Amino acid sequence: MTTTVPALHTRTAEGSGLQAVLLDMDGTLVDTEGFWWEVEVEIFAALGHTLDDSWRHVVVGGPMTRSAGFLIEATGADIALADLTGLLNQGFEDRIDHALPLMPGATRLLAELAAQRIPTALVSASHRRIIDRVLTSLGPHHFTLTVAGDEVARTKPHPDPYLLAASGLGVDPARCAVVEDTVTGVAAAEAAGCHVVAVPSVAPIAPAARRTVVNSLEEVNLAFLHSLMAA
């Protein structure tokens, strides 16, 4: 976990039940879920295997070790897990060096949260090396702290990353709004006891208790997040 903004006690969400906003990265703030799949397809093609497009729904949003392990098992490819994760990280980095498109509404939402001094965390299953590269485009000043998938013993769909983020911010998970794009991420946030805004990227997500589904980040603003706590 990396803290990027000091003096957490000065960043508050007074006058509301909302204490903090916790944001996923890939597919939520940056339009990169397709990048990961493209890299996976290319690597396995070089190994002599074709990935079934239906597997994309299995690997999206999960920790890299789980996704990579699934693809090795599904294809029978002759490659070690550690070697594959290294190739995946490098292939992804090469892509974001050329283009890193943000999701519609992401820039405006981050600016609004920062302007209103809402404690905000970036919580991703991606490794630290990837998060730090992406932060150069998102702006590290937008986040009080960041949590990477390789910094927790159990990453999404376990609640650990969101519990760590809430603890680092000194807030109650039940008074945090989480924005996620995958079933895996939603499961992690709900297991942590957070209110969830789901913005589905690859696979559909159904509404549920303490879960609101929207079509785009353009529908999400601070007033909307405050309303989740009131409800």
How do residues 123-170 score in pLDDT, each as one tens digit?
A: 999 889 889 989 988 999 999 999 999 999 999 999 999 999 999 999
pTM of this prediction exceeds 0.85: no
Active site residues: 24, 26
The pair phi, psi for residue 204, each rounded to 5°, is: -65, 155
Q: How far apart are CA 122 and CA 25, in angstroms?
A: 7
How do residues 188-205 score in pLDDT, each as one tens digit?
A: 999 999 999 999 988 899
Provide the 10 A C-beta neighbour count for residue 217. Answer: 23
